[in-house]
Amino acid sequence: MSQALDELKIGGLGASRKRVEDNRFIRGKGNYTDDITLPGMLHMEILRSPMAHARIKSIDASKAWDIPGVHLVLTGEMMATRNLAWMPTLSYDTQAVLATDKVRFQGQEVACVIADDPYIAKDACEAIEVDYEPLPVIVNPEQAVAEGAPVIRDDKENQANNVIFDWEVGDAAGTDRAFEQADVISKLKLHYPRSHPSPIECCGSIADFNRATSKLTVYMTTQAPHIIRAAVALVAELPEHMIRIVSPDIGGGFGNKVPVYPGYVCSILASILLERPVKWIEDKTGNLISTGFARDIYLSGEMALRRDGKILAVRMNCDSDHGAFFSDAQPSKFKIGLLHSAFAAYDIPVAHLTDRGTYTNKAPGGVAYRCSFRVTEAMFFQERMMQAAADDLGMDQAAFRRMNFVRDDDFPHRTPLGFLTDSGQYAKCLDVGLKAIGYEDFRREQAEARKHGRLLGLGISTMTEPLGAGNSREYDILGIKMFDSAELKIHMTGKAIVRTGAKTQGQGHETTWAQIVSHELGIPAEDIVVEEGDTDTAPFGMGTYASRSTPVAGAAVAMVSRKIRAKARKLAAHLLEVSEEDIEWELGRFYIRSAPDRGVTIQECAMAAYSNMPDGMEPGLENTAFYDPPNLTWPFAVYIATVEVDPETGVWDVLKVVAVDDCGVRINPMIVEGQIMGGLTEAYAMASMQFITFDADGNCVGANYMDYMLPSAWETPGFELHSEVVTPCPHHPIGAKGIGECAAVGGPAAFVNAVMDALSDTGVRNIDMPLLPDRVWEAITYQHDVSGAPPVRSDD
Amino acid sequence: MTIVYEDEETQGDVPVRRIKFTINGKKMIAEVETRLLLAHLIRRGIGLTGTHTGCDTTNCGACTVLVDGRAVKSCTMLAVQVDGHEISTVEGLATASELHPLQEGFKEEHGLQCGFCTPGMMMAAKALLDANPDPTEEDVRWALSGNLCRCTGYQNIVKSVLWAAAKLRSESAG
């Protein structure tokens, strides 16, 4: 009998296979949007508004037109003649492409110049004269709903104020009744600051309209090329088969590259008008002040508790700041995304949540920044609330969580706000985390240190979150249901190509999709090439964000492999001259049950599909699978951080970080760990330094990397990762769950809880993120809560 | 950098200078606008697109190259400043047959994800290893503190550089 294949050796499931895509990146041979040059290509730059809210009295572009090398100046007025001054958003609102009536946030797109060279285009932008009449500015929801507040969206009929929506979910009356029964009611109020995903590569596009063929090709930084194709077809009314969207290598996305931005639209129109390729590459300031932000939500809530620590009910009342246009890039049917996934890890009988969305004079486009649509805010509030409640009860942080966890045998579990969680071993993960951090020892050390005036703290964050939109019942984008597909072609020599509608941006799909095929078919991973990102060749898919690639597209890859295996089985029966029922499968090979030595490899089946198929069988070995997941996937994680706070300066140092992630079956453990470390770093960034705020005039503070602080290798702590708890997803074909965002979602609360734990003697209940030294110092010195909500204080 | 005008009247008054420099061992001559940034000379003029521009403010380091062996952020250096100097970019790291140990190290230790910061990281690391063949983890973290990465969390980048340092040392010992 032949030697069975060793799955790890052929790069199958569970192999920490080195990444295929690295071969080009380490040589500087990646192909990012800005690396592409087309013959006759022109360059576009955008003129942005310096004002946050102002009426446009006039735009004089005559001096720009006079500059040699300028081919076109686009203004809102010109866009309006083509019905393109406004575009629909992914949240069923409208957004200005180029401003016509007024500007509504600092950095809004006012005009575009297309020139021979980007330097000339920038010169010409500066030569455009815009006369603005300033209007009162709104930078937070409180100002937005104040009496007499100016109406930001006066372009919309029936919009008499700045409220976008009032949304609620849960059982209000039942929650009220539960609160009446409470022994203790714990309360918390905080602001999750505005942040920006800020991939190092900014957004950009090269539109290439070919008059001769009527075909529009757009190379662009998009995480979801098929969605863009649909949007261009529907908005610009171009025929869908004449639109080709190519997403080349992407220099990080994190949600920033999901929406449709005015720059893309303008470059497309310019290419159609000029019949030449037009390249637009955003600068960093443009990226930070105008493209999809994240968070910016005011969360307040209360928890009804029994004296022994049992949670009886939770109430949350939130205010979300959406900026000037409601263009949240989220596909759920819920107005504020999956905010109501809060407290899903805990067994709570009843809950109620409200959110009011408001317009402000800030950049639009709340995106899911390494997050499934407001899950980050939900889990942050949850874990800050858990800490506050445990403190109010005088209970141990770990014991309080453990007591309220959904138990391993309680699945499937319906949360009080409507989700169905399906699997997990929460207490076991917590045990692993506590042991790794040395919980009991640290508590002793902490008590001892405090006697000497040293402030040590430990923060715990435990959470499960919903990853992998769809299902198609509750998730769609502009009516297009959330599913994915994969196409697999086995060539006659047994080599293969797999394509999906997802789009890798660092997640390593070119490596991991091959591993799934390898697991299902026994073809060595190195014999399988992966392609994504070109709508002319990739099968339809909803793109990569919200940790959905493995749950949805990855599942489609497994399913199409199984279709191929089913046909290969018929070919094997034909080759072995037995009936299909007499055949067994082992990795890479079919054999006769009664004579295991007689078998054929998957490669031999592939050759037979082209050279020796049975009579009546359709030749070839190719297929496509569409996958609509039955539920979201629910990974669970425990993040624990310890810190030391310097009471003299408010500076805090991270002592140790432990992460226990149960994301089900890991396709490539090396890549999973890379994702977790990246997420933890963004969590640390949000907790410690990274935020965007605004002054009272609506000026963006955080408009470049000198103000928008990102941690470097010097500031970033080390991480200790644990993978020993594995609860396979019950409905995913290979048992995998999403993972890309978990640490960014659950991590921030671990750091903040640690600092707050160090400050527990001060009576301070909350310091808003980021925990800048001056905020921590202020809390210690004046023993009061510190708010970080805009407008910015003069000393921030 | 090369602009073809439709006729003489549309030609602007653009000051141009002729510069000579060496890039990855090749001698070159260019006529450049005096305001042209080095990053743009490398990317658009010479066509070496491995040097990336990320932030325009000397913070992210994606555009890091070596000028006379020193790590320099090419987005904030003028092209005319390299007149008479030597530039090395990521494309010059590998030989035709062999990767540089830094390149191997980044692949071995999963030191990259989206790959956008990687060329700048490797060039900053090369400047470190040329000066200090046996750095500590702290040395590496400090040397790379001018380069930002949003994907990896740096831990594996640090490991990659230490991997390369060990390999370079064993090569020079052997």
Q: Do B145 and A27 touch (CB under 8 A)?
A: no
Per CATH, the number for B13-92 is 3.10.20.30
> Is-same-fold flag (A22-30+484-627; A405-412+422-467+630-796)?
yes
Q: Tell me what pLDDT residue B7 has.
A: 58
Query: Measured between CA atoms, how close is B85 to chain A, in angstroms?
Result: 22
Summarised one tens digit per residue, pLDDT across range A540-557 is 999 999 889 999 999 999
| Nearest by Cα to A457 from A391, A413, A404 | A391
The answer to whether A712 contacts B158, with C-beta atoms less than 8 Å apart, is no
- pLDDT at residue number B3: 54
The H or E element that residue B164 is part of is helix B155-173
Element (H, E) at A244: strand A243-246
Q: Do B57 and A706 touch (CB under 8 A)?
A: yes
Tell me, yes or no, if A223 is annotated catalytic.
Answer: yes
pLDDT recorded at residue B19: 97
Q: State how far the Cα of B152 lies from the Cα of A746, in Å rounded to an integer.
A: 17
Residue B42, token pair as written in the block? 């490398």
What values do phi and psi take at A488, rounded to 5? -130, 125
A713 to B144: CB separation less than 8 angstroms, yes or no: yes
Q: Does B75 touch chain A (CB under 8 A)?
A: no
Closest approach of chain B CAs to the CA of A625, in angstroms? Answer: 27
Residues of A in contact with B48 (CB under 8 A): 28
Ordered alpha helix ranges (H), A374-508: 375-393, 397-404, 426-437, 439-451
- Span B101-173: which CATH code? 1.10.150.120
Reply yes or no on domain A405-412+422-467+630-796 having CATH 3.90.1150.10.
Answer: no
**C-alpha neighbours within 13 Å on the C-beta side of residue A429:** 33
Token pair recorded at residue A716: 């970033």
Contact status of B54 with chain A (Cβ, < 8 Å): yes
The predicted model gives B106-119 an average pLDDT of 98
Q: Which candidate in A108, A223, A382, A603 is catalytic?
A: A223
Q: d(Cα A790, Cα A792) in Å, to the nearest integer? A: 5
**Per-residue pLDDT tens for A20-56?**
999 999 999 999 999 999 999 999 999 999 999 999 9
CA distance A394 to A456: 18
Report which residue type is found at B55. C
User: For residue range A102-152, what is the model confidence (pLDDT) as tens digits?
Assistant: 999 999 999 999 999 999 999 999 999 999 999 999 999 999 999 999 999
Cβ–Cβ under 8 Å, residues A299 and A318: yes
Q: Answer whether B164 touches A (CB < 8 Å).
A: no
Q: Which residues of B touch A671 (CB under 8 A)?
A: 110
Q: How far is B172 from chain A (nearest CA, A)?
A: 23
| Cα A46 to Cα A263: distance, rounded to the nearest angstrom | 7
The CATH number given to A37-138+202-290 is 3.90.1170.50
Contact residues on chain A for B57, CB-CB shorter than 8 A: 284, 704-706
- pLDDT of A85 > 90? The answer is yes
- Nearest chain A CA: its distance from B13 CA (Å): 10
3-state secondary structure of A688: helix
Contacts of A719 in chain B (CB under 8 A): 153, 155
Question: B70 to chain A nearest CA, in Å?
Answer: 19
Residue B135 banded pLDDT, cuts 50, 70, 90: very high
CATH topology of domain A22-30+484-627: Aldehyde Oxidoreductase; domain 4 (3.30.365)
Predicted TM-score (pTM) of this structure: 0.97
Per-chain mean pLDDT for chain A? 96
Task: Write out the H or E segment, with its range, that includes residue A274.
Answer: helix A262-274
Encoded tokens for A271: 């290419």
Mean pLDDT of B121-141: 98
Chain A nearest C-alpha distance from B96 (Å): 11
CB-nearest to A681 from B33, B43, B154 is B154
Q: Give residue A330's pLDDT.
A: 86
Measured between CA atoms, the residue of chain A closest to residue B119 is A28
Q: Are A170 and A90 in contact (CB under 8 A)?
A: no
Q: Which two structure tokens, joined as six digits, stand for A374?
A: 């407001």
| Chain A to chain B Cβ contacts (< 8 Å) | 187
Query: What residues of B are in contact with residue A718 (Cβ under 8 Å)?
Result: 155
* B12:A28 CB<8 A: no
Mean pLDDT, to the nearest integer, of B85-107? Answer: 97
The answer to whether B124 and B106 are in contact (CB under 8 A) is: no
Q: How confident is the model at residue B4 (pLDDT cuts 50, 70, 90)?
A: low
In a mutational test of the A interface, the residue from B126, B148, B154 whose CB has the highest number of chain A CBs within 10 Å is: B154
Hey, which residues does B17 pair with through a beta bridge? B32
Q: Is B103's CB within 8 Å of A29's CB?
A: no
pLDDT in tens, B22-72: 999 999 999 999 999 999 999 999 999 999 999 989 999 999 999 999 999
The residues spanned by each domain of chain B are: 13-92, 101-173
Tokens, residue A703: 């408009």
CB-CB under 8 Å, A283 with B54: no
pLDDT of A4 = 81
What residues 2-31 of chain B have any CB closer than 8 A to a CB of chain A? 3-5, 10-12
A700 is catalytic: no
Q: Do the chains contact at A705 and B59, CB–CB below 8 Å? A: yes
Average pLDDT over residues A78-90: 94
Structure tokens at B12: 């602007």
Q: Is the preceding omega at residue A630 within 30 degrees of 0, hence cis?
A: no
List CB contacts (< 8 A) between A505 and chain B: 114
**Is the per-residue pLDDT at A420 higher than 70?**
yes
- Cα separation, A96 vs B90, in Å, equals 41
Known active-site residue A153: no
Residue A367 vs residue A423, higher pLDDT: A423
Which residues of chain A neighbour B118 with C-beta distances below 8 Å? 25-26
A329, A134 Cβ separation under 8 angstroms: no
Residue A559 reports pLDDT greater than 70: yes
Tell me if chain A has a CB within 8 Å of the CB of B35. Answer: yes
3-class secondary structure, A582? helix
Task: Give A713-728 pLDDT, tens digit per residue.
Answer: 999 999 999 999 999 9
Please tell me the predicted confidence (pLDDT) of residue A279: 98
Contact partners, residue A50, CB within 8 Å, separation at least 6? A106, A132
Selecting from A284, A507, A716 the residue whose C-beta is nearest the C-beta of B56 gives A284
Catalytic residue among A125, A318, A371, A729: A371
pLDDT at A769: 98
Task: Say yes or no for a CB contact (<8 Å) between A718 and B54.
Answer: no
Please indicate whether residue A741 is annotated as part of the active site: yes
Whether B113 and A117 lie within 8 Å, measured CB to CB? no
Chain B residues near residue A715 by CB distance under 8 angstroms: 145
Task: Please give, rounded to a whole number of angstroms, the shortest distance from the CA of B128 to a CA of chain A.
Answer: 14
Chain B residues closer than 8 Å to A284 by CB: 54-57, 60
What share of chain B in percent tops pLDDT 70? 92
**All structural domains of chain A with their residue ranges:** 22-30+484-627, 37-138+202-290, 405-412+422-467+630-796
pLDDT band at A235 (very low <50, low <70, confident <90, very high): confident
* Distance to chain A for B23, nearest Cα, Å: 15
The pLDDT of residue B5: 56
pLDDT digits (tens, 9 = 90+) for A441-484: 999 999 999 999 999 999 999 999 999 988 888 888 888 888 99
pLDDT band at B167 (very low <50, low <70, confident <90, very high): very high
Q: State whether residue B37 sits within 8 Å of chain A by CB.
A: no
What ipTM does the predicted assembly reach?
Answer: 0.97
**Catalytic entry in A48, A194, A229, A370:** A370
For residue B154, the chain A residue with the least C-alpha distance is: A713
A570-607 pLDDT, tens per residue?
Answer: 999 999 999 999 999 999 999 999 999 999 999 999 99
CA gap A407, A400 in Å, rounded: 14
Q: Which of the following is catalytic: A45, A302, A510, A741?
A: A741
- Find chain A residues with C-beta within 8 A of B73's C-beta: none
What does the block give as tokens for A678? 């990246």
Q: What is the pLDDT of residues A241-294, one digit of tens each?
A: 999 999 999 999 999 999 999 999 999 999 999 999 999 999 999 999 999 999
| Nearest residue of chain A to residue B61 (CA atoms) | A200
Cα distance from B126 to chain A (closest Cα, Å)? Answer: 13
CA distance A138 to A796: 19
Shortest CA distance from B53: residue in chain A:
A201
Please give the residue of chain A at the shortest CA–CA distance from B13: A68
Closest-CA residue of B relative to A253 is: B114
Q: How far is CA A639 from CA A494, A722, A750, A758, B157, in A?
A: 44, 10, 6, 17, 22
Helix (H), strand (E) at residue A513: helix A509-521
Q: Is B125 on the interface with A (CB under 8 A)?
A: no
Report the Cα A289 to chain-centroid distance in Å.
Answer: 19
Whether chain A has a CB inside 8 Å of the CB on B32: the answer is no
Provide the token pair at B98: 């062999």
Mean pLDDT score, A564-574: 98
- Distance from C-alpha of A390 to C-alpha of A399, rounded to nearest angstrom: 9
Residue A179, number of CB atoms within 10 A of its CB: 18
